[in-house]
Structure 1
Amino acid sequence: MTKRGPFLALILFALAIPGFALEGADGPGRISAQIVYAEGKDFTIVRGGVARTFRADGSEVVGMDVEAGDLVQTGSLTFVEMQLAPSGSMIKIAENTSFSVDSFGASDGSVSLSLVYGRVRAKVAKLSGTDSFRVRTRGVAAGVRGTDFGMDSIATRVAGKTEDRAYCFAGELEVYPEGAVAAGVPAMIVNADELLLVDLSSGLAVLERRTIDKAIKAFWLANEFEGKPPLPAPPSADLSDGSAALPASPASAIAPRPEPVPAAAPPAATASEAAKEAPAEAAKEAPAEAAQDNGPEVEMRYALPDYEPYRRAASTKNVMIGVSLVCGIIGLGLQSVGLYSITQSEYDLGTMLVAGGSAGVGISLGTAAAALFINPPSP
């Protein structure tokens, strides 16, 4: 009995160590996401290159985990809500939307998400310390620390034109043009009831700040958060002001619905019209890492005025004015010496100097007159 005691103690100690490690890995700081509500027809989750479609009214949907690397795609008239733990932040994915859960921080509270196509709204709990919550589209990235906001990435009726919109219902957003963070460009602050429109149709991001459209408020008023999450959720902003006059029944009657995206298409499919029309069966074979691709990179730079025509015209005008001054000074000097020579009875030399000076003055007057007609265009 005494001999077995040490062996039993070693076995118990060995079993306790991995158990302790697992408890630490799934401890209270670990970020997770769970579906808390779904309505409509069906939605698809692409995980590890495998696409699975679920009925929105299915019994297995509520409580389903959403993992880092998953791509969630909703069908027509289908909405999905999920909650992040332990913060309690809520995310609502609208119909015809492709939404990627990029990563959850392993050592901090960072959350990175991507809106590939469609429309999404998030209510983010107050963050602290190294915690961060970022949602990006093809054109912009939005960082928040306790905000009720939404983002759209929807193709317009103009062929090949896509508009990204980031708008804030409560709190404030820090919005960066995609690629601007690495370039050191400061964030644009979007305050409550403001919208930042990003036009990428030319390959150059054109940003415009405006008030949130009534149609956007009406859309989210008619499609408020409906789920009963297990954790306390941040409060919703009041969207009724200015939207009551608009219809409040189906979403398609409130705002133009995003164009459908194939149920299991990878995010890169949004970059071209041909990929948007690909069948869902072919898209199911796409690798999971494609969910991280948000289409071709867009050149991000600030468009400065073209100063080159102004510079050339101004340089030419300055040169002509300089020539006029030099020729005028030399001409007047030769004339003065020529007149002095004539008074000293050196008629031939004086006459030649006066004639040379007159030529210099004539060149000076001609170049000065020509310089007056050169007006540099405004940059």
Structure 2
Amino acid sequence: MPIFGFHGVPPGEYSTVSQFSTMKRAGIDICYTLYNSDQEVKTALDAAKKANVKLIIRVSSLFTDTEGTLNLFKNHPALYGYCIGDEPNPSDFDNLAILAKKIKKIDPYHIIYINLFPNYVEPKLLNNITYRDYLNTFVQKVPVSFLSFDNYPIVKDQVRIDWYKNLEDLRSVSLNKDIDFWAFACSTIHYDYRQPTVSGIKLQQFGNLLYGAQGLQYFTYWTLNYEANWRKENYGYSIVDDRGNPTPTYNVVKSVNEQIQRLAWVFSGAKSVAVFHTGINIPEGTKKLYSVPEQFKFFTTYGKEAIVSIMSNGKNKFIIVQNKSLSENMRLEYQPKMRMRKVDNNTGKSMELSLLKKYNDSILPGDIIVFAYN
């Protein structure tokens, strides 16, 4: 499962094998950074290669001398792709399309990365079209490798009411247009975003996965303080500090990433067949689970808020339940009606469940339980 650090290891003195190795140990294997020169890009690519990290690069020469820059870097083994835009307005789409097509003609093998707005931005930033139209228009015009959007849903320890609607929109467009999507978790203090926690990171990243995301991103990897606005907003407790030293968030992200990779055989390449919500408060734009899933004789969260996702991956099918609480364990009681296995979060391995037994499990805040069947 690709895991990506936005504002990763910065250029210059920090572009070292040691810093990229620190990133790799956190479970992040793709780094995005803005570079000031081609030489900074080359230095970073060479160091990243030794740490087995890939780079998505953005440098001014990519726009002023596209062919020359691509020919300079397209054969480097540490290159993952090119970033050509972040949170574009619809009026930017035509120019982005021209540049993306030019890049693809010269280098068809590396990805083109453009990150899109979330659904809570002011309508004028979307030219007053609906968010779904924003996504559809983008896909129709710009030949990107996948969709990416940056909704940071946990604000003042509360989950945005429209986050799940944002995931519903990405899931729908992804399935209709047959294009993958990548999604973010907020991993730094800024504005009204608080210090990252295990339950918060799990809620975000597993929520993304249950809706079908095929790549996971963190904003930010590096603690931002080298611009006045970032210092003003008191960025802090990113995955590493402003000198590249791990913060308490580092081990939080590392542990969640390790769990995700143990379950990569479930999520990587999977299709989201259906997503339902349980509990009293059903988010706008989502579907309520009204009945026991057909694979179970008995199934209840006892009124607690959860996601129930049905996914398909090759010959394997999955029912995955996520506890949507940030602070309380959730009780799940169930009895399978067909041959089914429960996947161990700690090992990624699965064990057969008895059709004659009623099970009672406790799901940690933000965490999941995975059931597999054929």
TM-score range, shorter chain: under 0.3
* TM score, norm. by length of structure 1: 0.26
* TM score, norm. by length of structure 2: 0.26
Q: Greater CA radius of gyration, 1 or 2? A: 1
